[in-house]
Amino acid sequence: MKSKKDTKVLMCMSGGVDSSVAAHLLLEEGYQVVGAFMKQWTDGGDVAGVCTWKEDRRDAVRVASFLGIPLLTLDFEKEYKEMVMGYMFKEYSLGRTPNPDVMCNKWIKFGFWLEKAKELGFDKIATGHYANISLTQANMYELTAAKDTEKDQTYFLHQLDQKQLSQTIFPLGNFTKDEVREVARKIHIPTAEKDESMGICFVGEVPMQDFLKQKIPTTPGDIIHSKTGETLGRHQGLPFYTIGQRHGVVQKGGDEPLFVVQKRQENNTLVVGYQGDPLLVSNEVVVENIHWVSGQSPTFPLQCKVRLRHRQVLQEVRVEYKKGQHVLQFSTPQKAITPGQFAVLYSENTCLGGGVVK
């Protein structure tokens, strides 16, 4: 195994405070560090959006100069539009709600980026994710939760495999966000006070429904009440709605908010109901295309914990394998489980993997 001073690391730098501090920490540990800004989106073409990549790259250049490291600019726009945007539009068109961040990590950051890093002669890549990697006595790489439980990003990283983990460093795994800010201020990193980026970068402030309409046609249908069957209005197309989202339609004579509780593909009907609607609650769910971080399927039934959305408190679950399907049985009924989203499994603070809610 190479010593740190002989290990060449390509640090993925977004221009934000997290990746900036991560680069600094790698240098402190003695690694040979080169920064890389990954260009993934520019406006133009058949999809219009908003992306601040020019400003972000400018910040990355400033930080690299401050730290005294080279900065490469690598273009993965073609791969990103195909593997992440293509996936997103396809899933929405099927009436599901995808998570593009998971696919970006799987195919772009720890796929094409990692391949490029190896091609350029680097030993490892590093990112500003809040997560940890540990090596067991059996030489198995485990993906484990970050010290900062509020910032932990293992949910978005659960599709990584042994090879990807073996070639990755997460310098921020044992830091809280406040500690990262403190380090940045202490050494006067140029991006110390930069706001955190939120949401999907290429969508920007455009309403998601408007963004999706660029590729997905409107297919109007009825909105009905789950209990009364009363028609309350018309929707613009099932792909534009998510299970559990609050709906603006108003029931006559009532001021209690209504939520999307079901999408009936067979007759293009959107079903809405009150917050406590039985259709919003599930005792079990089928999960498809499960990926195990270890590369090995466990013994079933598996008693573990699950997170059905980022930052959700971990829930007790029993995983069964029945008739070729993975079925998650919850100890406590779960609300607003959304097809297309990921169910991510944990044993204590170790991320086991996860799959797509059917």
Token look-up 């049985």 returns 329
The DSSP symbol for 194 reads P
The set of residues, in sequence order, having a beta carbon less than 8 Å from that of 193 and lying 6+ positions away, is 17, 185
Q: Is 304 a catalytic residue?
A: no
The distance of Cα 24 from the centroid of its chain, to the nearest Å, equals 25
Contact call for residues 79 and 108 (beta carbons, < 8 A): yes
User: What Cα–Cα distance (Å) separates residue 271 from each residue in 100, 198, 236, 289, 352?
Assistant: 26, 30, 13, 28, 35
Q: Which of 112, 110, 106 is nearest to 159 (CA)?
A: 106
Strand partners, 225: 272
Q: Based on C-alpha coordinates, what's the Rg of the chain? A: 22
Q: Which of 12, 51, 104, 351 is catalytic?
A: 104
Count CA within 13 A, CB hemisphere, residue 239. 20
Q: Is 51 a catalytic residue?
A: no
* Alpha-carbon gap, residue 148 to 158, rounded angstroms: 17
User: What Cα–Cα distance (Å) separates residue 129 from each residue in 40, 126, 187, 214?
Assistant: 18, 9, 21, 31
* Alpha-carbon gap, residue 338 to 357, rounded angstroms: 7
Q: Which of 12, 201, 304, 351 is catalytic?
A: 201
Residues tagged active-site? 104, 201
